[in-house]
Chains A and B, each alone.
Chain A
Amino acid sequence: MLGTLTTLMLVAPEWVLRWTKEPRGNAFWAEFVVWPLIQILIVLFIVLTLVAYLVYLERKVSAFMQARLGPMRVGPWGLLQPAADGLKLLLKEDIIPLKADKTVFQIAPIISVVAALVVLAVIPWGAAWATIANVNIGLLFILAVSSVGVLGLVLAGWASNSKYSLLGALRSSAQMISYEIGMGLSIIGALMFARTLSMSGIIEAQQADGVWYVFFQPIGFIIYLVCALGETNRAPFDLPEAESELVAGYHTEYSGFRWALFFMAEYTSMLVTSAIAVTLFLGGWSFPGLGLIKNQTLFVVVSIVIFAAKVMVLIYLYMWFRWTWPRYRYDQLMDLGWKWMIPAGLANIVLTGIWYVLALPKSRGGVFGLMQLGLRDRLAPTRWSGIIYFVVTGFVITIPIIWLVLAAINRRTRDFNLHAQRQLQIKLRAKRLQKHAEPQAAGEGAS
């Protein structure tokens, strides 16, 4: 499908060009074939190395959190550990279970890893040439392609012909679909301010507004972070591969490099979700004072470093979560997705919409007139008064209202309202005891 298409476009024979009479020449090849290929290779190389070192980082972080040292033997401080791991995985035997569906079993990890890697194309790694493709539906493209990644897990679980794998796959499909909805809802508030789906456009909008959207959209950011955890199957939401219940979940039957592909997909999608969060809520590669750098090349390099630093902060947060919190129970997970994240996301959209419409200029039907036409006819909040208005509404009014909404919805749920639940249990137990006591009393009376 996608792979065939890309190959077709890259190695298209000469006669097609001649037949179609398109203007061609060195400029065409340089712009559409050679330069993109170089960019793709650079990004793939860096990201895959980074993914290998993320595994190392995860082991180190977990070790430090448990007062251990982590990998220390291979290279100084164990820095060559990823290389050793990769070599080990490459040399391992590739086992395919006898009763497995061979084709699907082999395709599944590839789907998983391709869905994770394709997304890298539209991420704005930095200013100017560091953005590979500025697609005007960038964010939608990322959500769409990464939603395909679920298929990899589901098919892997089914094709393995093993009950642990199948259960893991069922869990992962239910979980990822639930959390995808919350994720989609959480970004809409920020998109209202950005008014574009293009990733570079979103960063530019934040520069033009002079504020990161996390300050306008605190609730959206929190919902996004939680849903991204659920979407990447990371702890505390790692139910599809819960070791204590399912051996290893959907990849129980995988070994060697096919298993490594799943691992790679997981860490890449962690990187990607962090990159989206950085782009959408934390200003992407922009940083106060970055404009002072006049040298163009230095500017781009510094922007890449800033983007990477922000992404790494979020990834560290993920690892911190993983090694701090216990795993959720399955019904708790579904409760959190459907009764907390989705209502909060919907309420956030409605409230943000109300604040936005109220702040429109008076000529467009607004009340406060705290917005003005800025760069390229995009409505931007006025400096300071508009920004303060949106920050105050976002923090002081939106959060308490959403709190009330969630409290009303979840008044009767079990795990998030421990006091009421305890009272209920006591009442039920009293009733049961009473029922138990009555026939006994009746029996004693008869004898």
Chain B
Amino acid sequence: MQLHGWEAVLFYVLAFMTLIMGVFVISARIAVHSALFLISALVNVALIFILLRAEFVAGVQILVYVGGVMVLFLFVIMLVQTRAEEESRVRLYTGQTKAVYVIAMLLAFAFIAAMRPAQSGFQSPDATAPTQTSADRGTATGQGAGGVSEDTQKVGSALYREAALPFEIASVLLLVAMVGAVMLARGSKQEKLYE
């Protein structure tokens, strides 16, 4: 898939920002700052999704990760007192740094080697399917209102037709985890009160 013009510029800016933010996540001293940088990285990824015309996925990314998961992260970080550790001057750059560089380079090479054969298989979506952009850009009310928007429809039908079983299994797994957590957190005192 080839990106042209504005899209290419935006893609590279966003990809670069995502990586930079990722580095900041692990190098920040204070846990809340790490969480903030992670939020920036996630927002950048959502913007890349928009660039790839997956608006629904982008919206869900922000809604679930930035608005949900990260708020819970912050919730936990705030409850755990970490101030003392943050203020003591721990050396961040130890001998492990060099090993990290080497492993990161190896990972990058492996990634490139894995992506290369796949790249030739990609086809530009512009060539195969007409996009909706001309209709979406209109400011008049009549446009873009025909039925379900295409991207949302695709996600929905894929989720409920082709991936229904894995989706249900994953949700049951989450449900079990949730019930387990509630049972662990709930003392026997509260149960006794009603008996």
Contacts and interface: CB of A to CB of B under 8 A. Distances in A.
Contacts of A203: 141
B141 A140 contact: no
A136 B132 CA distance: 10
A170 B5 contact: no
Q: Most chain-A Cβ atoms within 10 A of its Cβ — which of B13, B58, B145?
A: B145
A255 interface: no
A376 B36 contact: no
Given A104-B33, A143-B63, A195-B148, A174 B9 contact: no
A151 B66 CA distance: 8
Given A2-B43, A140-B152, 19 more contacts: A22-B6, A104-B36, A128-B140, A128-B141, A134-B138, A134-B139, A135-B55, A136-B149, A137-B59, A137-B152, A140-B55, A144-B62, A147-B63, A150-B71, A151-B66, A151-B70, A154-B71, A176-B71, A197-B56
A48 to B, nearest CB: 22
Interface in A335-369: none
A378 interface: yes
B68 interface: yes
A176 B140 CA distance: 34
Interface stretch (B74-82, B88-96, B113-121, B160-168): B74-82
A378 B146 contact: yes
A419 interface: no
B180 interface: no
A107 B68 CA distance: 20
Interface string B110-140: 0000000000000000000000100011111
Q: Most chain-A Cβ atoms within 10 A of its Cβ — which of B17, B59, B66, B68?
A: B59
A173 interface: yes
Which interface class (under 10, 10 to 19, 20 to 34, 35 or more) fits A? 35 or more
Contacts of B22: none
> Main secondary structure on chain B at its contact with chain A?
helix
B25 interface: no
A129 interface: yes
Contacts of A56: none
Interface string A1-22: 1100100100000001000111
Interface string A427-447: 010000000000000000000
Contacts of B63: 140, 143-144, 147
Interface of B: 4-6, 8-10, 13-14, 17, 30, 32-33, 36, 39-40, 43-44, 47, 55-56, 58-60, 62-63, 66-68, 70-72, 74-75, 78-79, 132, 136-152, 193-194
Nearest to A149: B67
A323 to B, nearest CB: 30
A102 to B, nearest CB: 12
Nearest to A161: B83
Contacts of B4: 20
Contacts of B66: 144, 147-148, 151
B149 A198 contact: yes
Contact of A22 (B5, B39, B79, B151): B5
Contacts of B9: 16, 20
B139 to A, nearest CB: 6
Contact of A200 (B13, B145, B151): B145
A147 B67 CA distance: 5
Contact of B194 (A1, A140, A200, A412): A412
B39 A145 contact: no
Contacts of A20: 4-6, 8-9
Interface in A197-211: 197-198, 200-201, 203-205
B61 to A, nearest CB: 8
A136 B55 CA distance: 8
A124 interface: yes
B85 to A, nearest CB: 15
6 contacts: A20-B6, A137-B152, A158-B74, A173-B75, A176-B71, A412-B194
